[in-house]
Amino acid sequence: MVRQRVRIRFSKSGNLKYIGHKDLLRTFESLFRRVRLPIAMSNGFHPKIKMSLPSALALGIEGFDEVLELELNDSIGQIESSVLIADLNRSSVNGLNFLSARLLNETERKGQLESSVFEMIIPEHLCKELAIDINNFLSQKSILISKTKTPTKKVDVRHAVTNIKFQPESGLLQVEVISQEGPEAGVRELLTALNLDKEYFQTIFPKRIKCNLINESQNNSHPN
């Protein structure tokens, strides 16, 4: 029997945004034990749960459309997605909500992030200047920004941003950033390119509202 693979969409918000990736994985493990979900394990002396996240969130950023993939033990029957989501939410912790689950086809590859959509509210006193900086940003072909933790590495933020929308009246800024090999452009590098780096986690608190996966729209058109 081919093992079932499940792709789950979830949100991580509130105080839970302050836990790191490894702590989040441990939270998942504890939750799966509580609901007695038969997750497949790796082989070897130190078996681990077969689960993966296509993209880890930076510490302090809320995510409202995150992706988790699980491989289930082949000893169980066909699971019901709605029942799985209900069981997980019933036993979950504050700030961790499960939104949907989909059984993956045998031919579907492990999820790979194509792009992320981030959203943030810009303080009113910065909106006028930001509108000008966005126009300047869009007029450039390339904008190289050093990574904060590894200044020797630079990323082309302009190349990474495929869509940017700004509403000066409300201060709502929405940006789509593509995933790429090597050092990736994150929210911090984007804000640096827009002259807003000093506002990061001071007056501007980004959140990820969408994770787009490669080929997911095509796969969704052929349900199980």
Report the chain's mean pLDDT, rounded to a whole number: 91
For 99, phi then psi, to 5°, come to: -100, -45
Give the global pTM: 0.90
For residue 99, give the amino acid letter. Answer: L
Closest to 100 in 3D by CA, of 77, 74, 80: 80
Would you tell me the crossing angle of helices 81-91 and 21-34 to the nearest 10 degrees? 110
Measure the CA–CA gap between 198 and 192, rounded to whole angstroms: 8
User: What pLDDT, on the 0 to 100 scale, is given for residue 216?
Assistant: 81
Residue 1 in tokens: 């029997």
Cβ(60)–Cβ(208) below 8 Å:
no
- Domains belonging to the chain, first-starting first, are 5-111 (3.30.70.580), 113-212 (3.30.70)
In this predicted model, what pLDDT tens digit does every residue of 118-168 receive, in sequence order?
999 999 999 999 999 999 999 999 999 999 888 889 999 999 999 999 999
Q: Is 60 left (phi over 0), alpha (psi -120 to 50) or beta?
A: left
Cβ(15)–Cβ(73) below 8 Å:
no
Judged on CB neighbours under 10 Å (0-12, 13-18, 19+), 212 is middle
Parallel, antiparallel or unpaired: strands 5-12 and 96-103:
antiparallel
Other beta carbons within 10 angstroms of residue 154's beta carbon come to 15
In this predicted model, what pLDDT tens digit does every residue of 24-56 receive, in sequence order?
999 999 999 999 888 888 887 777 888 999 999
Cβ(157)–Cβ(185) below 8 Å:
yes
Measure the CA–CA gap between 173 and 211, rounded to whole angstroms: 17
User: What pLDDT, on the 0 to 100 scale, is given for residue 106?
Assistant: 84
CA distances from 221 to 68, 114, 162, 217 (A): 20, 18, 24, 7
Measure the CA–CA gap between 125 and 190, rounded to whole angstroms: 19
Secondary element (H or E) of residue 135: helix 124-139
User: What pLDDT, on the 0 to 100 scale, is given for residue 221?
Assistant: 47
Parallel, antiparallel or unpaired: strands 113-121 and 144-146:
unpaired
For 108, phi then psi, to 5°, come to: -75, 135
User: What pLDDT, on the 0 to 100 scale, is given for residue 76?
Assistant: 59
